[in-house]
Chain A
Amino acid sequence: MSQGRPAAEIEHVTFSYPGSADPFPILEDVTFQIEADDYVGLIGPNGAGKTTLLRIMLGLLKPDSGRVSILGMSPVEARSQIGYVPQHAGIDATVPATVLDVVLMGRLHRSSWGPKFTNEHVEKGMEALRKTGVEDLARRTIAELSGGQRQRVLIARALASEARILLLDEPTAGIDAPMERSFHELLGTLNEEFPIVLVSHDIGFVSAHMKTIACLNRRLVCHGAPEVTRDLISEAYIDHGVHRLVTHDDDCPTCLPDDENQG
């Protein structure tokens, strides 16, 4: 898998929202690389610029300065090869569409005009649902699914697009702890095939499967193996007035022991 060339390079990226009253940019001189077999946990408190960075990586926002390259291309060029998994709450669950309909959206850029997807596309969609373990839900509607199931459907959609890198935005929002554990295992398995970037505000979400942790708080506060020191992560949070660290996953190497976690 790892053939030397990084999956993504973010170089000196600075970004402010136009018209923002904040005198500081939301992202300032952010630089890091995502290796071809990497699994990056991009964490930071709310308002740290995580989603902004993700949107820059998707080419939905242009950085004020700096350069982003995904799979050796500009973000816009790379779009069709980026498997983007948005927050599941962003999907309109009242739309009259089945799970398979939603997953087939991942085949849109390869499909022709007309009302139907060919059998080949449907087969790819079903294969993606199999991979994420929700094949039996294919004929259900999104409204009938739990948060965890919806998240798996959205990952299946990203897989169906034959993406070469996965970007996930706050995937565990609204998912309970047991679901979260199996979700980590799924991502660990998928990481054997794809580089993954997972954005979360919850440092308890750092999983044993992650290979790199990037802590963002306007600047990149730390970046390295999950064994990064507790102090560095704390700094990223306490800067923002958040003193209590939330942990969910016992396997997490960077989590605080429970007794230290109560204050």
Chain B
Amino acid sequence: MKYESQKIARLYFIAALGLFAGQILFGLIMGLQYVIGDFLFPAIPFNVARMVHTNLLIIWLLFGFMGAAYFMIPEESETELFSPKLAIVLFWVFLAAGVLTVLGYLLVPYARLAEMTGNDLLPTMGREFLEQPLITKVGIVIVALGFVFNVGMTVLRGRKTVISSILMIGLIGLAVMFLFSFYNPENLVRDKFYWWWVVHLWVEGVWELILGSLLAFVLIKVTGVDREVIEKWLYMIVAMALITGILGTGHHYFWIGAPEYWQWLGSVFSAMEPIPFFMMTLFAFNMVNKRRRDHPNKAAVLWAMGTGVMAFLGAGVWGFLHTLAPVNYYTHGTQLTAAHGHMAFYGAYAMVVMCIISYAMPLMRGRIANSNRSQVTEMWGFWLMTVSMVFITLFLTAAGVVQVWLQRYTDTPLPFMIVQDKMAIFFWMREVAGVFFLGGLCVYLWSFFIGTDAEAARDSAKVLVKSSTKEYSKETAIA
């Protein structure tokens, strides 16, 4: 870390992890409500718990992305951040908006919240993931604009790199696509059509640019591979992401009233959406194999490889599983969708944010890397969370298959609630896996408090000395 203003990222990362913990707690509540239907009813009905669960996810990932940008942009641009003060002010504004919104969900009936916050003025609420009151949405736009301005000015006055350009395109795209959340046509079909311009073009579009640039940044730092090589990979990954992902939006247009040619377009292009994720996996493993030094931060390297693999499995493989229209006809809106959503968000976005946190946090605390003890604990957290998520996904997949079999792909379809009862065993197992995930998260969070600066310095020095005498592969990385 070379610039003082990079330290602002620390605030953002701490908030991100705090909200992440909240997200997991509400996930466990919902998981229990799946099997004990009246758990916390009517205090926290399922729809409220779900809104908190998904909105916390979005907010903490945004905190993570912003923190990552504040850390990366000064270093890439080789200059201090344009306005550290603005970054701190926006942090508190965003945190206050986020916390107040979640409290609003929990303490006020949603209809009353809509009334209080001016939903009559411009009805935007009550749509999945975009449940935020109008004032929160306006707040998000203001924060996003201030943030993009701040990092944008930094990029403009400093060195321009491919990583910072791709990151900026991703962040500007994120802000621009969010504007569609204010567009809520009275016609449900058109409402859904443009709703996906926020949701799909975020997670299967511009967010992949952010993901790619974060990963590329960490890989340059921990492997020492030539920037030229890394940047060429980055360009190809994000090119494939948008080439497949934009028309891939069509896989959401199969059954909402849009014309039927979307079944062909959506199937063909979204079937190719795993490609960029597969490339990310190759990218991470290749760069690590061709490394020109051993970085003392082994945990960050693990996260970098992990996010590639898990994003490919969750977003790529589990997405492909039900993306072809003839398959999706039977699986649309079942637990298979939930299975895919969980592993994809964790693998692609949660893990890449934890990857940059793992790399950046020790540096901001004046260390090259954390002590061995701390890193081993962090890696335990990694494995516990990741393996738990694999099991959550497998159990939800099993539940989804049962659901499709009994309710959809059959001559004698059973009613929804009857089928849900038959899936209970899988919901229970998912909940157990969820408890393990929470355990993993606790271990992960605990790792931040292990080891002194002196211990960290000693352990890092050992790796660096060893690395300086070691012969690294002479052949250059696959260009």
Do A and B interact? no
Interface set of B (CB-CB < 8 Å, partner A): none
Interface set of A (CB-CB < 8 Å, partner B): none
